[in-house]
Structures are given as C-alpha cells and as structure tokens.
Amino acid sequence: MDIRAETDRRAGEIEAVIRSYLPGEEGPQKIVMEAMNYSVLAGGKRLRPMLMQETYRMFGGRSEVIGPFMAAIEMIHTYSLVHDDLPAMDNDEYRRGKKTTHAVYGEALGILAGDALLNYAYETALLAFEIEPQNTGIVKALRILAKKAGIYGMVGGQAVDITSEPAKDLTREKLDFVYRLKTGALLESAMMIGAVLAGATVGEQKIMEETAGAIGLAFQIQDDILDLTGTTEDLGKPAGSDEKNHKATYVTFEGLEKAKADVARISEQAIAHMDTLVVRNEFLTELLRYLISRAS
C-alpha cells in the first residue's frame, strides 16, 4: 500500500464531506461565514475525521451517520487553530502556507469566526439524529465531542499551556498534562466517536481512547521535533517558532535524540494495544505509523 497516496485520496473524499456541511455565504452576516469557510478550507491533513471514519469502519459502521461528526470535529479543530493564531495567543500570520484568518479578516472577525465554527460544529453533529434516529450512540458521541473539546480536554490543555509561560514555569508534569489534553483529547474524541457510533463495546471504546491518547502524545512530540528540524516551506508555518518564543517543549526536557526514540516507542506501543482487538483495519494501522513518521 502506498500510504501517502491512499491517505491523500481518502483526505479528498473527506474534504467533500466537510464541504457539504459548510454554511452558505449569504445574508447580512455572510462575512463571518466567508471567514469560517476560509478557515476550514485552508488545507490540512483531515486527520481527526479520517481517524473517526476508519475507526467507525473497523467496528463495522456503514451508514452516513458518521458524516456530520466528521465535519463537526474538523470545525472544532479549525476553530482552535484560528484562536491559537490570534495576537493574544501565538500571533501567527501563516498557517498551512496561507495567511491566517485574523491576518485576512482582522482580529475581531478572527475571534467571531472561531466562535461561529464551534457553535456550528454542534449544529452539524446534531444532524446525525436525522440520518439515523435509532442509533442510541449519538447522544454518547455528542457528550464525548463536547467534553474532549472543552475544559476537561482541548481548552483545558490550552489554558494550562498559556498560563505556564515563561518557559521556566512549565514543569515536565505540566507539559505531559498539556499534551494529553491540548493534542490528545480531540484524537481520543475522534476514535471514540467512531467506535461508539458503530456499536463497539465499552471495553473496545476504552482501548481506542487509550490508543488515541498515546498517538496524540507521539504526534505532539513529533511536532516539537519538526519545529526544530523542519523548514518553513515543509511545515507551512514558521519553523523554529518554539525557540523564538522561548517555549519549553518535549525536546527541551529530553533532548532531540531521546524525543525521536520516544516517538517510535510510544507509537508502536499504542498500535500494539489497538492490535489486541479482534477487529482489524490495515489502513488505520498504517495511517497511525505514517502520521508519526511524517516530515511536515
């Protein structure tokens, strides 16, 4: 399997699903809809909806009920990036090789576009009831989406991250907490929701949550490595920004070579944990390996 080509192909299919749920740009408030759509369609790996879809398929899911949740989780991920790029946060002008939302539309509309995407994500996820009203997993999936995106997940991790600056205030324990919530929580949400909507058992859902949490940690450590070793052209955003902003990372605490070794160890342990399941998805396994070994 040419994993890169297959990933690109499936990302294109997911892009079409996401586009189908984006709002029309009309009415007096259409400027905020334009900013929302600009943000979502600015590129990206579509990792979270892809993990959700492949987990859903692995547990036997076959209906279109997964579609609204795939779009919703990408909207939530995108809103977090829009706000992360704001002057009050990281103050970045480029994301995925394009101007960030606030750089194009201004800071106020950057804030509103993020707010709108978060709200619209839940509007979109609720459409699942219209597709498969008999699926009792939809309510649980909504609760997972909300919790993993909020104060006990992504937002909580971001809050600890920004209040642990300068770097000397960030301990290794805090860093692990930030990575687990800020990066890992949405990956956990993606794979858990796929499992829940397909009717996986509670035990199977737990294994997917644990697998995704470990993959999230490895993914974030790889991000730290790439910030140090990658180029602006490859990354689609300024390289070396962590060092420039005096930000403590996993590499700061453990060193580059240890960080690389830990990425390999953590990711392989996570995949081995998932392989304890009776069900299999060869593409999902290869996708996880590919994402951890990525160069951008």
Residue ranges in the chain assigned as alpha helix (H): 3-21, 30-40, 47-58, 66-84, 101-105, 107-125, 128-131, 137-149, 154-162, 172-178, 184-197, 202-229, 232-235, 241-244, 250-254, 256-274, 282-292
CATH label of the domain that carries residue 129: 1.10.600.10
pLDDT band at 52 (very low <50, low <70, confident <90, very high): very high
The structure tokens 């509007």 sit at 123
State which amino acid sits at residue 276: T
* pTM over cut 0.75: yes
Given a cut of 80, is residue 229 above it in pLDDT?
yes
Given a cut of 90, is residue 104 above it in pLDDT?
yes
Mapped onto helix, strand or coil, the DSSP state of residue 95 is: strand
**Domain of residue 134, residue span:** 3-292
How far apart are the C-alpha atoms of 93 and 82, rounded to whole Å? 11
pLDDT tens per residue, range 15-50: 999 999 999 999 999 999 999 999 999 989 999 999
Contact 256, 228 (CB under 8 A): yes
CA dihedral for 20, 127, 120, 138, sign (positive or negative):
negative
Contact 101, 38 (CB under 8 A): yes
Query: What average pLDDT does the segment 165-182 reach?
Result: 84
Indicate the number of domains in the chain.
1
Q: Is 108 left (phi over 0), alpha (psi -120 to 50) or beta?
A: alpha
What percent of the chain has a predicted confidence (pLDDT) above 90? Answer: 81
pLDDT score at 294: 74
pLDDT score at 245: 61
Query: What average pLDDT does the segment 101-117 reach?
Result: 98
Which tokens sit at 80?
A: 């977090």
